[in-house]
Amino acid sequence: MTLDGIVALVTGGASGLGAATVGALVDGGARAAILDRAQSDGDGFARSFGARALFAAADVTKSADVEAAIGHTIECFGALHVAINCAGVGTAMRTLTKAGPMPLEMFAKAIEINLIGTFNVIRLAAARMAGNAPNAEGERGVIINTASIAAFDGQIGQAAYAASKAGVVGLTLPIARELASLGIRVVTIAPGTFDTPMLAMLPEPQREALAATIPFPRRLGRPEEFAALARHVIENSMLNGETIRLDGALRMAPR
């Protein structure tokens, strides 16, 4: 699927990996709907692209919000060809601490946003993509999810986060198989340690220590590198049902 003329919805698109992806898609000729929280700077970010982008305030865990965002996207841009799930939260706490067990609500929140929110967008976007006319390859749509290498190498304190991202990895192949007859591909990217707003809050010595654990290149990943892979997934029709690690050969230690 070529980028020129397609319409993409990017959740978590106002910052970090999502924002870089929006930029890469618009630069390639696509139009983009930025789905993010109402309190984000999504509206200002969308305006920076002129008529090629729009902002839709939504909570990915709420069906009505996502349906409205997709409907608004199609109303403004005429179609939906690509959905990219970048919305997510990080959670860090041991299962059992000196103060007692991890609050169940913390575990549930990670699952609700990272896993259920991703599935919510997948199911609603796929329903609209199914009505697209197929291109020359028979494609009607592409769905890209964001997992994490924590799905495979979860560290101490990452039980909730790792479980939520492992769930995203786990749903990739079965949904790709389900949607294959419709010409809709499903691929997941599992980033390693990337220079996102979350890591920007860490002291520089801690950031340098994280970068030093990456075999090569020995630095934090750049959001533009995630965006470049997302673009390639869209353009390469043979990529389907796969989870791709993007981590500089990092395998995380227990802590």
Query: Distance (Å, rounded) from C-alpha 131 to C-alpha 174?
Result: 21
Average pLDDT, the chain: 96
Q: Quick one: angle between helices 159-179 and 117-129, nearest 10?
A: 20
- Going along the chain from its start, the domains and CATH numbers come out as 7-193+223-245 (3.40.50.720)
Determine the Cα angle at 159 with ends 214 and 143, to 5°. Answer: 70
Q: What is the reported pLDDT for 197? A: 82
* Ramachandran bin of 134, using left for φ above 0, alpha for ψ from -120 to 50, beta for the remaining angles: beta
Confidence of residue 150 (pLDDT cuts 50, 70, 90): very high
Query: CA 140, CA 183: separation in Å to the nearest integer?
Result: 5
Write out the two tokens for 224: 């533009």
pLDDT number for residue 209: 85
Neighbours of 238 (CB within 10 A): 7
Segment 98-111 mean pLDDT? 97
At 255 the pLDDT is 86
Q: What is the pLDDT of residue 206?
A: 79
Buried b (16+ CB within 10 A) or exposed e, 213-229: ebeeeeebbebebbbeb
Q: What average pLDDT does this structure show over 153-181?
A: 97
Neighbours of 244 (CB within 10 A): 16
- pLDDT of 205 over the 90 cut: no
Residues 6 or more apart in contact with residue 243 via CB below 8 angstroms: 147, 151, 169, 172, 187, 188, 189, 190
Prediction pTM value? 0.96
Q: What is the C-alpha to C-alpha distance for residues 98 and 90, in angstroms, rounded to an integer?
A: 21
Q: What is the pLDDT of residue 199?
A: 79
Q: Is the pLDDT of residue 250 over 80?
A: yes
Backbone phi, psi, residue 68, to 5°: -65, -40
Residue 161 annotated in active site:
yes
Q: Return the pLDDT at 120.
A: 98
Residue of 161, 187, 220, 227 with catalytic role? 161
Q: What is the pLDDT of residue 214?
A: 95
